[in-house]
Amino acid sequence: MSQILSQLTHLPPLGVYAFVLLWLAGESVGLPLPDEAVLLTLGFLAHRGSVSLVPLILCATLGSAIGAAVSYQIGYALGRPVVIRIAGRVGISAERLDHAAIWVRRRGGIGVFLTRVIPFARNLASYAAGIAAIPPRVFYPAMLLGALVWCTTVTSVGDALGSHYQAILHLGGRGLLIAGGLVLVGLLAYLGWVVARRRRAPGG
């Protein structure tokens, strides 16, 4: 993994954008590819001026969305038996997949959004949403918003930390990123609640 991160610093901008799109797509279809370290490194490259932050975030989000859409359609159209065979090849048990499908089914769009910002859930979340028969009109907006929030957050952290971005991996690793993602989700949920409450208020 460290060699891959090192090679990123030598790629031209178009190569970096293509890499992050393909990497995030692969991670979202279930391949065991850690995206946190890659996004932090790419954020550092944006800080250094090697790439632009906005196109970087858009490519990362697009890759994540493509992978998630493919996974969802497989689960939605082909069903649980096919997904279990696919999941087994990347080390995901049928029991874990079933638990994820039940969890997403109970929560609908909110559940889909949360699974896009929780690192350990993303590689099976869209398969689970498909198996759970979450309607496309619910799945796609929630998935896109979650992918955008996650990619923006982690990449921006790398950009903000600059050359010190590696410290977040050494100090907290995935746990720290998970905590940060949950805090962000909490803030978004609170803002949504405030807006909904104001709309319900008389004269709102």
Categorize the per-residue pLDDT at 199 as very low, low, confident or very high, splitting at 50, 70 and 90.
low
Comparing 192 with 64, the larger pLDDT belongs to 64
DSSP 52: -
Categorize the per-residue pLDDT at 200 as very low, low, confident or very high, splitting at 50, 70 and 90.
low
Residue 100 has pLDDT above 80, yes or no: yes
DSSP 50: S
- Judged by average pLDDT, the poorest of 10-19, 131-140, 180-189 is 180-189
Over the range 180-204, which residues count as b (16 or more CB within 10 Å of their CB) and which as e?
A: bbeeebeeeeeeeeeeeeeeeeeee
Q: Reduce the secondary structure of the chain to three states and give it as a string.
A: CHHHHHHHCCCCHHHHHHHHHHHHHHHHCCCCCCCHHHHHHHHHHHHHCCCCHHHHHHHHHHHHHHHHHHHHHHHHHHCHHHHHHHHHHCCCCHHHHHHHHHHHHHHHHHHHHHHHHCHHHHHHHHHHHHHCCCCHHHHHHHHHHHHHHHHHHHHHHHHHHHHHCHHHHHHCHHHHHHHHHHHHHHHHHHHHHHHHHHHHCCCC
Residue 56 has pLDDT above 90, yes or no: yes
The pLDDT tens digits of the residues spanning 25-54 come to 998 887 878 777 788 888 888 888 888 999
- How far is the C-alpha of 204 from the C-alpha of 201, rounded, in Å? 5
